[in-house]
Amino acid sequence: MLVSPPAPAALPWPLPLLRFLPLPLLQPVLTLIGTQVAKAQPDVFLRLGPHAQKSFIIDPTDLPFVLVLQPRPEAPALGAWRRVSAPRGHARIAGSFLNLFDLIDGALDGDALFFSRKLRVTGDTEAVVALRNALDDVDGGVVESITKAFGPLSGIAAMTVAQLRTLGGRGRSHE
């Protein structure tokens, strides 16, 4: 008997549109986020110690791209790559987009996600723990720092974040 693989979990609206987003359009936004968060929260990168020179692959498994974070204090970089062409990283953090969002927003516990197998960590786990600890120490939260990075457009960014927080129920893990 032939069995079809399970269909990927449906993303709540408007997240399915991210599947069609040309990555060159996303890159300036990611660059802005990386540089502005580094300016606003320079201690985050310093708290990483030797792990600040490592590359982290952030893999929203329900989207067709990964993010590559290189938190170097002198030149932080955040970029989007198609999975097939993504560079290798020292560590990979994989989970659904909403779980990853809620994780950096502080609504979900990384340990609980990890032990329930809704978050997968491979590679240098010591670097991932250092990254998590550094992000946990951000004054006001990482997501707030990101929305402030948009300057005059921060109101629109805040509305987008508010919408993301309501998708699927804030603080509830997503398949």
Cα distances from 91 to residues 36, 81, 87, 121, 172, in angstroms, run 23, 15, 11, 7, 25
Burial of 107 (0-12, 13-18, 19+ CB in 10 A): middle
Q: What is the pTM of this model?
A: 0.81
Q: What span, in angstroms and rounded, lies between the C-alpha atoms of 117 and 5? A: 19
What percent of the chain clears pLDDT 90, i.e. is strictly above it? 31
Task: Give residue-wise pLDDT tens across range 87-139.
Answer: 999 999 999 888 888 888 777 778 888 888 889 999 999 999 999 888 877 76
Q: Where are the alpha helices (DSSP H) in the chain?
A: 23-40, 42-47, 97-104, 110-115, 125-136, 142-148, 154-166
- Are 108 and 118 in contact by the 8 Å Cβ rule? The answer is no
Which tens digit of pLDDT belongs to each residue from 19-33? 778 899 889 989 988
